[in-house]
Amino acid sequence: MKSAFKKGGLIFAGLLLTIILVGQLTEAPQNDAASVDVVSERVLVPGGHSVGVRMDVKGVLIVGLEEIETADGERINPGIKAGLQIGDMILEINGTKVYKASEVQEVVNEIRGDVNLKVKRKEDTLNIRLTPVLAKEDGLYKLGVWVKDKTAGIGTLTYYDPVSQSFGALGHAIVDPETGSVLSVDNGQLLQAQVQSIQEGEVGTPGEIRGVFYEAESPLGGLEKNTSYGIFGNAYHPIENTLYDKPLVVGTQDQVEKGKAYILTTLDDNKLQRFEIEIERIDHQKEPSDKGMIIQVTDERLLEKSGGIVQGMSGSPIIQNDRIIGAVTHVFVNNPQKGYGIFIEWMLQEAAS
């Protein structure tokens, strides 16, 4: 299952719901070098595994607003009239918590009158009062909103921590494609995924990995956080890497060098593989960002198979000098051989916060 998110000038290289950013890359100014504290010689099992993400959204997300036709032919949108916006999250109706889209209609039609909504809008919590409309079409009271409560998609595991038994993946957030909102996790799981096919990326058209979930009854772990720098949770059992029999040391951004490196990802026959890349630019950062490195795929095998970086590779770990230094996050729409990577320290910092 896939989906796409658009924003500005790149494409989130994969993701579940698969996240998209499109447009032209512009050069960003280099920041002053910064020393960032990371646990000395921390070790992680590198990922590269294709994974499925199944997530219940905390609350009910408004993804659309519509007019309702009443019995007398009048068209009204009570949601807009009350000030609701696309991207708002409905948490409660008259004090009753709602977790599913179906519950909104059920609660509203039990009340059959004015309702008070507790709504989360970005970082703010609002109380909004509105009057539902009785729809001519089906005789139900409605708020004039389209809502959703679940999402799912394909991405790539970045690391497994054998000490804490935690994991990180994607290197960027899962956002709703209609609203661009970062989705809050209520309940979710990391699942095993099997690659079915690969659509090659071309200039102006991002490629993608198409896969399916399997062994859904035996998930890899539970999701706890969806953040701007990745998704995080705890594994139900140890996760191994067939290419490395021992964990790799974490590399800080000041240990990253221009030049040859590798990414780990899953393509043919659901087999984890290592592909050569070139780190072309390093932006030393004082503050977290999911665009710390510019990388270019140089491995002919990967270029032949996928054209470069494609959606579904988000989270593919970047390895240099036997250290795990980051993860793939974006692909350039106008050059699928290139993309951005996030420094691993930002993912670890976010996981620990």
Residues known to be catalytic: 172, 299, 314
Can you state the percent helix, strand and coil of the chain, rounding each to 5?
10, 45, 40
Instruction: Spell 42-51 as b/e; 16+ CB within 10 A means b.
Output: bbbbbbbbbb
Going by DSSP bridges, is the β-strand pair 145-161/43-46 parallel, antiparallel, or unpaired?
antiparallel
Contact (CB, 8 A) for 18 and 208: yes
Nearest to 156 by CA among 268, 9, 46, 286: 46
Q: Any bridge partners for residue 279, and if so which?
A: 259, 295
Which residue has 């948490």 as its token pair? 91
DSSP secondary structure of 263-328: EEEE-GGG-EEEEEEEEEEE---SS--S--EEEEE--HHHHHHHSS--BT-TT-EEEETTEEEEEE
User: Can you list the alpha helix ranges (DSSP code H) found in the chain?
Assistant: 78-82, 101-111, 300-306, 344-352
Instruction: Give the integer Cα–Cα distance in Å for 18 and 239.
Output: 23
